Amino acid sequence: MSFDFDLFVIGGGSGGVRAARVAAGDTGAKVGLAEMDRYGGTCVIRGCVPKKLMVFASTYAPMVDEAQAYGWSTELGDFSWTDFRGKLEAELDRLEGVYRRLLDGSGVQKFDARAVVKDAHTVELSTGETFTAKHILVATGGRPQRPDIANAELGIVSDDIFHLPELPKKILIIGGGYIACEFACILNGLGVEVTQYYRGAQILRGFDDEARGLIAEQMTASGIKLKLGTNIEEMRRATEAEISGAVSAENDGMGLPPEARGQASAGQDAGAGPVWVKSTTGEEEVFDTVFFATGRSPNTTDIGLEEAGVALSRSGAIEVDAFSQTAVPSIYAIGDATDRVNLTPVAIREGMAFVETVFKGNPTPVDHELIPSAVFTQPEMGTVGLTEEEARDQEPIEVYATSFKPMQSSFAGRPDRVMMKLIVSQKTRKVLGCHIVAPGAGEMIQLAGVAVKMGATKEDFDRTVAVHPTMSEEIVTMKSPTRSS
């Protein structure tokens, strides 16, 4: 049978673009790709990249006090969201252009359209065009969820945060995952009054308990109002009386500034006002903006997958095997649409493994073991391998941990603390997990991840000479276990 394409990719994010251009460029396959929004996907356009730039922007304010402690006479002016947003948008435009040129350079035929799977070998575009393909790769990513409560549309989600016409003066963030915590720190650093509700007992569920506890302490110390065991119960537009009450309470640090009265909340429709919120603990408060960071869902709705025979989980994730193949042999899926490990580098690896398997004749299962990751809170957390809790349930372990004030902050009189932690198997002596809470933890964990992936033992760490004076030297100088279990 003759096909229009050897491969048709649905989705122009990092995973889909990588698979498309490698298949076309390395193997000469005829490849088409459809993207209904912007090329680069969540990570480049509305995720990792703009978020990290906002992280950078948010860290400058405390540097002034630290610089003064080191003898510099300096002052910091006001942060201009308008100036920053303009540069941010220009950078995202540049990066999208890079992705488009990479596809063009590899010979991939691009379609700026929405694609729907019609059957095992056919896709239909929103332009009305229909194409056949020997293989179809679904790389449609995910989207932020809103909670199922009345008036949830009054709040924003992570896709909206980069497009606010102005920064809110006062924001409520709902959620305790990494997105909620990262943006709580970012907005706090940019001068926004931040309150964060999380229904659980501690933020960052699934991460090491000791590490997430330290981050919660540091977030609270920085001025974030972190309210655990708390969720949103009701929300609606605030009345004039409630807005007036919030303004009058401003001197107590609880209210909106006078200029917010009667204005639209950032990111909401013109003419709209601030939002009144009642929490599950009975507190009532008025906020400029409510930001929902309450999870993400796979982008698999209404694109014809189930009709074509592709199995979806209850959450809408595409069910695939170790080679990213669906129940329909000609259809594959990678990235957040499969809800396996929702990280951009993982989607790229999955795309590469797909090309190796399907176009290079080298069956390559995706390796999801021992993936390093970082949470860009302030301080950052870097992690790879098992948490102490996971390892303890698996086998007898030793825990090597230390917490201390880093030299730079200590000299400046700042209360910041960092933590280094190794989880070690008593039987094999392998390092099962490494967890770092510190400035630059993301950079550190990338290198530690190499050692853990290679199966390094605690004695391998011990034999490594420390780089002094650095924070990271503590990873190789912890000689005695803190505890065993």
User: Known catalytic residues?
Assistant: 468
User: What is the distance between the alpha carbons of residues 309 and 330, in angstroms, rounded to a whole number?
Assistant: 11
CA 422 – CA 399 distance, rounded (Å): 6
C-alpha 143/C-alpha 140 separation (Å) is 10
Tally the C-alpha atoms within 13 A of residue 133's C-alpha that lie toward its C-beta: 32
In contact, 197 and 227? CB cutoff 8 Å: yes
Here the tokens at position 409 are: 């902050």
Strand order from edge to edge, sheet including 225-228 = 225-228, 193-198, 170-174, 289-292
Which residue from 220, 261, 258, 218 is spatially nearest to 239, judged by alpha carbons?
A: 261
- With 0-12 / 13-18 / 19 or more C-beta atoms within 10 angstroms meaning exposed / middle / buried, residue 227 is middle
In the 8-state DSSP scheme, what is residue 257? Answer: -
Q: Which two tokens stand for residue 73?
A: 């006479």
Residue 267 one-letter amino acid: G
Q: Are 303 and 143 in contact (CB under 8 A)?
A: no
Q: In what side-by-side order are the strands of the sheet with 431-438?
A: 373-375, 380-385, 431-438, 418-425, 397-404, 483-484
Number of H helices, E strands in the chain: 13, 22
Both tokens of residue 305? 């997958």
SS3 for 13? strand
- Which pair of structure tokens corresponds to residue 292? 């929902």
Task: Name the CA radius of gyration of the chain, rounded.
Answer: 24
Structure tokens, 167: 């920064």
Residue 319, phi then psi, degrees to nearest 5? -85, 125
Residue 363 is given by DSSP the state: -
Q: Give the span between the Cα atoms of 165 and 356, in whole angstroms.
A: 45
Q: What is the DSSP string of 231-256?
A: -EEEEEEPPHHHHHHHHHTGGGT-S-
